[in-house]
């Protein structure tokens, strides 16, 4: 019961901070170019994670595990945050986040194909409902023109995030999860910062108190603590089920975007919310399948 309560609180924290991240990132992009902003926030987050991981320095094993750290950084940080931060320039933040949250559907499918997680008909239907909910949010859910480039960048961000999560889950037993999280964020941040320095200008950054506060909040809560919580949950439970709960993040994002950016709520948004709630119920409730499932070994 205590572990269950802890998981619930961790999910609430993750949904809240990752939800508010989208409008905050949209605001930050009015002060800085996308790749430089992505690099700055991830490098700071990575340094914070390294500081947390230092007492366990013996488990780093960088000489042996650097290919794993690098691959994870490219998938989960460079591609995910790169596509995300650039894509936010093309679409409203709430709408863009809804498109990115095709990720739980992809994650559920990849976890079934590559991690051996169960896939019964109700779970599959739940994942499809979740996708339908995201689609309802995307199609006219918020005001603003639907940029094809923005949609493609959102889908690319979803794909890289899902692949990065499955890759991390597959290799979880080879590496200390704290060091994997710290290294992927720091290495990914350095690569993004290098790309931003080559393609963008540091003089285009406006170092206002609002930008600095925004960036520090995202670095600490969204990136450092957010990724720690996310991979802890992924490592301790079924990746598909944890991914299903992340469908709630675009709802928080849209609500925050309404408050902070003046984006609108429409009928599509309400329909999408209902479909997402149904998706979470179908994916996470066994409906009498516990006994049947108990005879099979569940993935750790």
228/3: higher pLDDT:
228
Q: Whole-angstrom Cα distance, residue 33 to residue 199?
A: 10
Contacts of 192 (CB under 8 A, 6+ apart): 35, 38, 39, 42, 43, 77, 78, 81, 82
Highest mean pLDDT out of 80-94, 187-201, 239-253, 266-280 = 187-201
pTM: 0.82
Greater pLDDT, 82 or 270 = 82
Q: Is residue 296 part of a domain?
A: no
The answer to which of 24-33, 57-66, 116-125, 211-220 has the lowest mean pLDDT is: 116-125
pLDDT band for position 230 (cuts 50, 70, 90): confident
The answer to whether residue 4 sits within a structural domain is: no
In a domain, 123, yes or no: yes
Q: Report pLDDT for 140.
A: 53
Residue 277 in domain: yes
Q: What proportion of the chain, given as a percentage, has pLDDT over 90?
A: 46
What pLDDT, on a 0 to 100 scale, did the predictor assign at position 243? Answer: 64
pLDDT-derived band at 270, boundaries 50, 70, 90:
confident
Which of 15-29, 83-97, 280-294 bottoms out in mean pLDDT, i.e. has the lowest?
280-294
Instruction: Please report whether residue 45 resides in a domain.
Output: yes
130 lies in a domain? yes
Mean pLDDT of all residues in the chain?
84
Q: Mean per-residue pLDDT for 55-65?
A: 94
CA dihedral 173, 178, 182, 183 (to 10 degrees): -30
Number of domains in the chain: 1
User: Which pLDDT does position 284 carry in this prediction?
Assistant: 64
Is pLDDT of 84 > 90?
A: yes
177-181's contacts with Cβ under 8 Å and 24+ in sequence apart are 177/231, 177/232, 177/235, 178/49, 178/52, 178/53, 178/56, 178/59, 178/228, 179/53, 179/56, 179/59, 179/60, 180/68, 180/69, 180/72, 180/231, 181/49, 181/227, 181/228, 181/231
> How far, in whole angstroms, is CA 266 from its chain's centroid?
25
Q: What distance in Å separates the CA atoms of residue 52 and residue 44, rounded to the nearest whole number?
A: 13
More confident residue, 112 or 201: 201
Q: Assess whether pLDDT exceeds 90 at residue 79.
A: yes
Asked whether residue 7 is domain-assigned, the answer is: no
Domain span holding position 166: 13-289
Q: Smallest Cα–Cα separation from 244: which of 96, 112, 88, 154?
A: 112
For residues 198-220, give the mean pLDDT: 97
Does pLDDT of 260 surpass 80? yes
Q: Is the pLDDT of residue 169 over 90?
A: no
- Computed on alpha carbons and rounded to an integer, the radius of gyration of the chain in Å comes to 19
Classify residue 298: in a domain, yes or no. Answer: no
Residue 207 pLDDT more than 90? yes
């Amino acid at each position: 019961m205590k572990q269950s309560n802890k998981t619930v609180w961790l999910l609430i924290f993750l949904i809240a901070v990752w939800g508010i991240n989208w409008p905050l990132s949209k605001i930050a992009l009015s002060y800085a170019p996308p790749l430089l902003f992505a690099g700055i926030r991830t490098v700071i987050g990575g340094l914070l994670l390294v500081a947390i991981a230092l007492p366990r320095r013996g488990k780093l094993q960088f000489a042996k595990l650097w290919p794993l750290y690098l691959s994870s950084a490219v998938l989960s940080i460079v591609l995910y945050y790169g596509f995300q931060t650039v894509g936010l320039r093309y679409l409203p933040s709430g709408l863009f986040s809804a498109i990115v949250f095709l990720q739980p559907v992809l994650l559920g499918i990849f976890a079934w194909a590559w991690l051996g997680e169960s896939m019964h008909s109700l779970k599959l239907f739940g994942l499809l409902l979740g996708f339908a909910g995201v689609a309802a949010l995307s199609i006219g859910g918020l005001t603003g023109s639907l940029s094809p480039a923005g949609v493609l960048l959102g889908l690319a961000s979803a794909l890289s995030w899902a692949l990065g999560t499955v890759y991390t889950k597959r290799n979880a037993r080879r590496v200390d999860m704290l060091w994997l999280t710290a290294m992927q964020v720091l290495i990914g941040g350095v690569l993004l910062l290098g790309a931003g320095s080559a393609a963008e200008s540091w003089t285009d950054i406006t170092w206002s108190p609002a930008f600095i506060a925004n960036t520090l909040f995202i670095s600490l809560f969204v990136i450092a603590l957010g990724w720690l919580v996310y991979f802890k949950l992924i490592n301790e439970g079924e990746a598909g089920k944890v991914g299903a709960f992340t469908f709630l993040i675009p709802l928080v994002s849209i609500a925050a975007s309404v408050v902070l950016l003046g984006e609108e709520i429409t009928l599509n948004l309400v329909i999408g919310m209902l479909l997402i709630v149904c998706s979470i119920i179908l994916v996470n409730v066994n409906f009498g399948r516990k006994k049947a499932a108990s005879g099979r070994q569940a993935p750790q």
